[in-house]
Amino acid sequence: MLDEVRPLADAFAAAGQPLYLVGGIVRDQLLGRELAPRDIDLTTPARPHEIKALVGPLADAMWTQGERFGTIGVQVGGRDFEITTHRAEAYTPDSRKPDVSFGDDIEQDLARRDFTVNAMALRVPDPTLIDPFGGAADLAAGRLRTPLSPEVSFGDDPLRMLRAARFIAGYGLEPDGELVAAVRTHAERLSIVSAERIRDELDKLLVVPDPSAGLWFVADTGLADLFLPELTAMRLEQDPIHRHKDVLAHTFAVVAKTQPERLVRLAALLHDVGKPKTRSITDGGVTFHHHEVVGARMARDRMQALKYSNDDVEAVRQLVYLHLRFHTYGMGWTDSAVRRFVRDAGDQLDRLIELTRCDCTTRNQRKADRLARRMDDLEERIAALRNKEALDAIRADLDGRQVMEHLGIGPGPHIGRALDVLLELRLEEGPLGEEEAYRRLDQWWASQDRGAPPQDPRTQT
């Protein structure tokens, strides 16, 4: 990595300008973590116009979208770098955008960073660690602190309160008491941060290997109330007589069990959000009837509020809606039911299976083993059907053009009804083949022509 940055470091040194590696790359090197294939962040007292002049002769490409914030992007030797003038920035009380001012001092620049473990710099080309706030010691001690007081740091950028959750979970750091107290006191400040930035930070938290500690931090400090109030609503009061699983603890356990993939983790986080609204206490105990239906709507609405893409919203909505479907499998599924399960899951099938498996958090090993065996059996049946038919693209044996040509009619509602009949037959019986499909179509069409009530296509043999 030092070899990659050397051409830039030498150019800045020749001009009498210091250059420093900064941020996550310094932290991860101290931890001995493998460096991710990301941009390398550098900082310097040189102003943006000076940076452009220095890197211009070396650059394969340059981008200046962030110039007004002091950042110049450059590609050298196939590697992307972002070089930023030392700066200080802070939010005004009612603004979502920072005020930026440039500085000349590396320690002042580091002071405005989020946490001490990120407030370290490595001067190049001759490596010298700059660590004015004890970030290396905090890494060794597993401690999360801010370089200045947490009130000042979170005042500079309130999103840092949510970012703390990611560092707690992703690096196993314990937040100090002042940091926790400041988040509880100033959580409301998160409301000035854009939904897009909150969404992106939530996504980063969810894909660390085990987000549990960070999610508990978000729930316990009141941060969740600002962007995901459905989370703390799952902290249902436990009835001493009609007991049920702690929904919030179960949710976090399911998230931790799933693979660290963004959409399946989002679905795991939201799969039970409908339970508080559907809880009913009866003589038979506590029920949550149709919580998957209510939860699917709630998940959609919350994700839309957080500005997720339409594709992401629909994927998670579908997973939440279908997450209980498997539990009727023990009553016996026909091949038709398996086809419908695959058809309804669509391209979310693998995620749905992952979510369903991980939704079992019982301590009863026999019950867990029984569910796992049933899930294995369903996957084997899906694989067997795939070998016999085009299970992942279930459609009617005939298309609209074939139906119109065969019946000698033009477009209209009859075509849609005919295709629905043929699709129902395909789901119920598997592939019919064109000859049989035409025969069934004729039977159905004859019943329509005679003015008879529509017949169930499954009875037409």
> Quick one: DSSP state of residue 452?
P
pLDDT tens figures, 15-49: 999 999 998 899 998 998 876 656 789 999 999 99
Q: How many of the other CB atoms lie within 10 Å of CB of 147?
A: 23
Q: What is the per-residue pLDDT for 387?
A: 79
Q: Is 346 left (phi over 0), alpha (psi -120 to 50) or beta?
A: left
Place of tokens 């493998």: 34
pLDDT tens figures, 197-217: 999 999 999 999 999 999 999
pLDDT over 90 (residue 331):
no
Task: State percent of the chain over pLDDT 70.
Answer: 90
Q: What pLDDT band is residue 457 in, cutting at 50, 70 and 90?
A: very low
pLDDT over 50 (residue 1):
yes
- Three-state secondary-structure class, residue 161: helix
Query: Using CA atoms, how far apart are residues 194 and 124, in angstroms rounded to an integer?
Result: 35
Query: Using CA atoms, how far apart are residues 90 and 207, in angstroms rounded to an integer?
Result: 29
Tokens representing 422? Answer: 């043929």
Domain boundaries 142-227, corresponding CATH code: 1.10.110.30
- What are the boundaries of each domain within the chain? 2-139, 142-227, 255-392, 396-459
Own/partner pairs for 335-341, CB < 8 Å, 24+ apart? Answer: 335/381, 335/385, 335/430, 336/427, 336/428, 336/429, 338/378, 338/381, 338/382, 338/385, 339/385, 339/391, 339/394, 339/426, 339/427, 339/430, 340/427, 341/378
Cα-to-chain-centroid distance, residue 34: 23
Q: Give φ, ψ of 73 to 5 degrees.
A: -95, 145
Q: What is the per-residue pLDDT for 354?
A: 96
Domain with residues 2-139, CATH architecture: 2-Layer Sandwich (3.30)
Q: What angle is formed at CA 381 by the lines to CA 377 and CA 386, rounded to 5 degrees?
A: 150
Average pLDDT over residues 368-376: 88
Q: What is the per-residue pLDDT for 330?
A: 64
pLDDT tens figures, 294-321: 999 999 999 999 999 999 999 999 999 9
Is 165 in contact with 196 (CB distance < 8 Å)?
no
Average pLDDT over residues 93-117: 83
Q: What does the buried/exposed string (b/e) look like for 249-268 if buried means 16 or more CB atoms within 10 Å of the residue's CB? A: ebbbbbbbbbeeeebbbbbb
Query: Using CA atoms, how far apart are residues 269 and 276, in angstroms rounded to an integer?
Result: 14
pLDDT tens figures, 373-401: 988 999 998 888 887 777 777 788 888 89
pTM: 0.83
- Which of 25, 217, 18, 209 has the alpha carbon at shortest distance from 125? 18
Q: What pLDDT band is residue 240 in, cutting at 50, 70 and 90?
A: very low
Tokens representing 340? Answer: 């419908």
Amino acid code (one letter) for 402: Q
- Three-state secondary-structure class, residue 15: coil
Q: What angle is formed at CA 114 by the lines to CA 112 and CA 117, rounded to 5 degrees?
A: 110
Please enumerate in sequence order all residues whose Cβ is within 8 A of that of 429, keeping only pairs 6 or more positions apart, or say none.
336, 458
pLDDT tens figures, 399-424: 889 889 888 888 888 888 888 888 88
Tokens representing 125? Answer: 């080309």
Is 195 in contact with 239 (CB distance < 8 Å)?
no
Lowest-pLDDT choice from 100-104, 186-190, 331-335:
331-335
> Quick one: DSSP state of residue 281?
E
Own/partner pairs for 399-406, CB < 8 Å, 24+ apart? Answer: 402/434, 403/441, 406/438, 406/441
- Three-state secondary-structure class, residue 171: helix
Please enumerate in sequence order all residues whose Cβ is within 8 A of that of 160, keeping only pairs 6 or more positions apart, or say none.
114, 115, 146, 153, 154
> Quick one: DSSP state of residue 97?
S
